[in-house]
Amino acid sequence: MRNRVLLTFFLITLCGVVSVAQSSGPATLVMTGGRVWTGNEKQPWAEAVAIRDERIIAVGTNKDITKLAGPTTQKLDLAGRFVMPGFNDAHIHFGSVIRLTQVDLNEAKSIGEMQQLIAKYAKEHPDAKWIQGYGWQYTAVPGGLPTRAQLGAAVPDCPAYLAAYDGHTGWANSKALAIAGITKDTKFDGFGEIVRDANGEPTGVLKEGAQGLMRRYIPTVTREERLEAMRKGMKWLSSLGITSIQNASGDLEDFSLYQELLDKGDLLARTSVAVSVGPRTTRERIAVIGAFRQRYAGPMLRAGAIKIVVDGVIEAHTAAMLEPYSDKPGNPGRSSWTPEELNRVVAMADKAGLQVYIHAIGDRGVRMALDAYENARKVNGPRDARHRIEHIEVIAAPDIPRFAQLGVMASMEPIHADPGTAEVWSNAVGPERLKYAFAWRSLEQAGAKLVFSSDWAAAISIDPIRGLHSAVNRQTIEGQPPGGWVREQRVSVETALRAYTRAGAYASFEEKLKGTLEPGKLADVIVLSADPFGVPPAELHNCRVELTVFDGRVVFERK
C-alpha cells in the first residue's frame, strides 16, 4: 500500500517556503533544475520537485530536493524547462473518442478540402458500411450549412454521416437519408430541425435532436471497440499534458468502462463523470445517480454530478437568446427545457447533494440556468454545491455578477472563441451583443470562478496549449485579427493556467488533492518546452508538452 503523507512546512529559501511531507524512505522520482510554477499562492515558484509513489513529498530548491533521492530514485534533469501541474480538462466528451478512427475535418477550410478528406478516407476504408466523421466548420461552408449533394460528390455509393465540430448539427448524403427514411414527408417536432430546401426536400442537415432520426441506423460500436479507442485516447491525453478530465455527458454504464481501464492500468487521467439527464428525470433516477457517488468517490474515478442541456448553439440558431438572432429576424432560438422543468430537476438534484452542469450558450439559456440555481438555494438552502454553467458564449450584462453571488462556476472553452471559426457566430449574434462574447474577463472581474476546458470532441482542438493561446490573445495562431477579437475579454497567462489546473480541481471538489504542486498532493506534473510567462503572447501556441508525470510515474516523454 502506498504511503500516506503528513504535511509540514519548514525552511525559508530563495524560492520561498520549501515544503516537505514527512514520511520514511527516499523519493521515487526527483525533478531538478527547472522553473517550477506550483500554482500555490504561498509558494508560487520553485526549482525542483520530489515525488514518492503517487504523492508529491517536497517542492523547493535543487539542493534540498536532491537530498531526498536514494540509490533507486529516478532522477530527471529539467535543464531549465518550465514545470507546472497537469492540465485538467474540465469539460470533455471522452466517450466520443471513437471519432479518432473516423474522418477528421477540423482543419478543413472549404467544402473542397472536406470533400477531399472524405473521399480519401472512403478509398482507404473500402469495406466500411458507413463513412462517419466529425469536425466540419460552419465557416467553411457558403451559407453556413452543407448539402447532401456536396457530401454525395465525395462518397456517392456508401451512406455517410458527419457531425459538425460542435456536435449539434449533422450532415448526411442521399444514401444515408434513404436508409433513415428521411424524406419530404418526414415530421419532426422535437428540439432541433430537419433542414429543408425551398421545395421542402431535406438538404442533408439535421440539427440537435433531429440527429436521432439518423443515429439509430448507424452501426453501433462494440464494447471492445470502445475500450480500445479509450486506451488510445488516454495515451493521447498524456501527450497533451492532460492528467484529469471531467466528462460532461454520459450514462451510468460508462463507469464500468472506466473501471476496466483502471483495473488494467490503462486509466491515464483522473476521471469525473456527469450523467446526462432530461426534463422528465425522476426522483428515483436522481437517487440512483446519488448512489453511484458513494461507489465512485476515489482520486481516479468519481461520480456525483448530472449534466443538463438547455439549448443548442449559436451557429445553428438553436441557442436560446433573449432577443432574435441578428441574421434571423424573429427567431430567438428556443430552449429544450421549460423554466419549470429546469427548476424542478435542479432543485431535486441539489437536495440530493449532486453537482449540476448546465449547458447554456445563449444569453436566455444562461439566465434560465442562473434562475434555476437561485431557486434551488431558496428551496433547499445554500450549500457548497459548486454548480456550473457550461459554455456561456453570450451573456446579458445584468447576469454577470450573479455567478459570484450564487457561487456558480463559469465553465468555458477558450478554443471556441478562436476567431478563425467566428464569422458565422458573429453574424448570428450581431454587433450589439459582441461586447460580451465569451466574456472571460468580465466574469473574472465580477468575482466568478473561471474553469477552462476544451469541450472536445465538440471543438477544433483538445490541446490546452491552443486554449491558452486563445484565452490570452483572442487570436488565431496566425495572429488574426490584429489586437484580438473582442480583445477586452482577454485574460492573463496566470488566470488561464489557474483555470486549466487549480480551478478544475476545485470544480470537482478535489482542490485538496490536486491542481497545485504541493507536498501531500497527487503527483500529476508536466514539463513544457517553453515558459508561458516568458514567451511573447503571440508565440504561446508553440509551447509543447515534453513530459507528463501521472500518479507519480512518467507516462509520456516527447522523443
For residue range 498-519, what is the model confidence (pLDDT) as tens digits?
999 999 999 999 999 999 999 9
- Please state at what angle helix 464-473 crosses helix 493-500, rounded to 10 degrees: 140
Mean pLDDT of 222-227: 92
Q: What is the DSSP letter of 211?
A: G
User: DSSP state, 475?
Assistant: S
Mean local confidence (pLDDT), 161-177? 92
C-alpha cell at 39: 500554482
pLDDT band at 11 (very low <50, low <70, confident <90, very high): very low
**What is the mean predicted confidence (pLDDT) over 139-158?**
92
The mean pLDDT value for 21-35 works out to 86
Per-residue pLDDT tens over the stretch 388-447: 999 999 999 999 999 999 999 999 999 999 998 899 999 999 999 999 999 999 999 999
How large is the average pLDDT for residues 187-203? 93
- For the segment 133-139, the average pLDDT, to the nearest whole number, is 90
Q: Write down the pLDDT at residue 458.
A: 86
Alpha carbon 14 to its chain centroid, in Å, reads 37
The candidate with the shortest Cα–Cα distance to 205, out of 93, 317, 308, 126, is 317
Distance (Å, rounded) from C-alpha 75 to C-alpha 131? 48
CA dist 51 → 40, 501, 505, 523 (Å):
17, 19, 20, 7
pLDDT of residue 250: 85
CA distances from 85 to 47, 88, 93, 305, 547 (A): 14, 9, 22, 24, 12
- Tens digit of each residue's pLDDT (9 = 90 or more) over 225-243: 999 999 999 999 999 999 9
Q: Name the residue among 36, 2, 4 with its Cα closest to residue 18.
A: 36
The conformation of residue 237, written as its DSSP 8-state character, comes to H
Angle made by CA atoms 155, 158, 163, in degrees to the nearest 5: 70
**pLDDT of 170 above 70:** yes
- Asked whether the predicted pLDDT for residue 213 surpasses 70, the reply is yes
Specify the 3-state DSSP secondary structure of 9. Answer: strand
Average pLDDT (342-362) is 98
Q: What is the pLDDT of residue 99?
A: 84
Domains plus CATH for the chain? 1-86+515-559 (2.30.40.10), 96-215 (3.10.310.70)
List own/partner pairs for 376-385 with CB under 8 A and 24 or more apart: 376/343, 376/346, 376/347, 376/350, 376/351, 377/406, 379/347, 379/350, 379/351, 380/347, 380/350, 380/351, 382/407, 383/350, 385/350, 385/355, 385/356
Mean pLDDT of the chain: 93
Query: Can you give the pLDDT at residue 285?
Result: 97
Among 19-33, 40-54, 84-98, 464-478, name the one with the lowest average pLDDT: 19-33
Beta-carbon count within 10 A of 3 CB: 14
H or E segment and range at residue 31: strand 27-32
Evaluate whether 138 touches 164 at the Cβ level (below 8 Å): yes
Tell me the three cell numbers of residue 2.
502506498
Q: What is the pLDDT of residue 106?
A: 86
Output the nine-digit C-alpha cell for 323. 432577443
Percent of the chain predicted with pLDDT > 70: 96
Set of cell numbers at residue 492: 492573463
Structural element, H or E, at residue 444: helix 440-445
Amino acid at 482: P
Side chain identity at residue 321, one-letter code: M
pLDDT of residue 20: 53
The answer, yes or no, to whether the previous bond of 457 is cis (omega within 30 of 0) is yes
262 exposed, middle or buried (CB, 10 Å; 0-12, 13-18, 19+)?
middle
